[in-house]
Chains A and B, each alone.
Chain A
């Protein structure tokens, strides 16, 4: 059991390495993507595929069916749960306006025409605004339904 002995082992190693690489890119995406919604893409697709590949590699390498069944369950639950959690997080992020609107080509979900000038969309939920007085005025304007420049 030392080293790579057979074709089976080579295949397993290729699967494991590819899966690990995809999980690495998922982590990179979390760091590099600009906002929550884009990060959720990284957290679902390469991540799920990476876990699946690692499971396949493990199933080839491990002996005995009982381990394989367990890996199958892990894969199934990964496929079922990753989209749900990503959806819940994106929904909350959108509603709390953690969206980089300047990077959106189209936003058909948007209801009002108000410009969101207080938040850029990539700060933490409870981050204090950079200029509190300015931000307070802006958010009051947004609460008034976007009546810009009506108070003077």
Chain B
């Protein structure tokens, strides 16, 4: 608790980068494929060099994992991944040109880490692909494949919000979970049809 930036130098930086360090060591060991102390030590040395020479900004708001929420997220994600793969595969084979839509969804989570997980997962679940994100206003622009009518669009919007809720219940803090209910669809987005 010194509070002086100069004093907390390398140690502070390393502590902030700890998840990244662990991940790099794990990757290094997986690449070698066999377990040995030499691999572990060289991995740690390499990870330290990488994080010191090429530092990344620290992730604000460390992740916590709620086991129940995480299992629910993971289960639904795997099912979604398989169905979306099959769906798009079928879409490529059937005749006809698919109609699509671009929608904006008002999210409720204000955390870089959670938004990243949401955006990553969204591109792999049925229908949706992230085009753009307004970080200030928490608006996510999503491209939706094979929509037939406006009911489909609303269904897709609801499923994006459901995904966000699952991610927050899996990794979010208590505050963020409460925020899910506090602001249900804050701002209405203007819709324009071409």
Contacts and interface: CB of A to CB of B under 8 A. Distances in A.
Interface of A: 21-22, 25-26, 28-29, 32-34, 37-38, 40-42, 44-46, 48-50, 52, 64-67, 69-70, 72-73, 79-80, 82-84, 86-87, 90-91, 94, 99, 101-110, 113
Contact of A41 (B31, B101, B129, B147): B129
B34 A66 contact: yes
Contacts, number: 161
A132 B141 CA distance: 33
A26 B193 CA distance: 29
Contacts of B149: 105
A107 B89 contact: no
Contacts of A106: 101-103, 147, 150, 153, 191-193
A37 B100 contact: yes
A99 to B, nearest CB: 8
Given A45-B124, A87-B119, A105 B147 contact: yes
Contacts of A42: 88, 92
The prevalent SS among residues of A at the interface is helix
A101 B192 CA distance: 12
A69 B125 CA distance: 25
Nearest to B148: A105
B155 interface: no
B30 A69 contact: yes
A105 B150 contact: yes
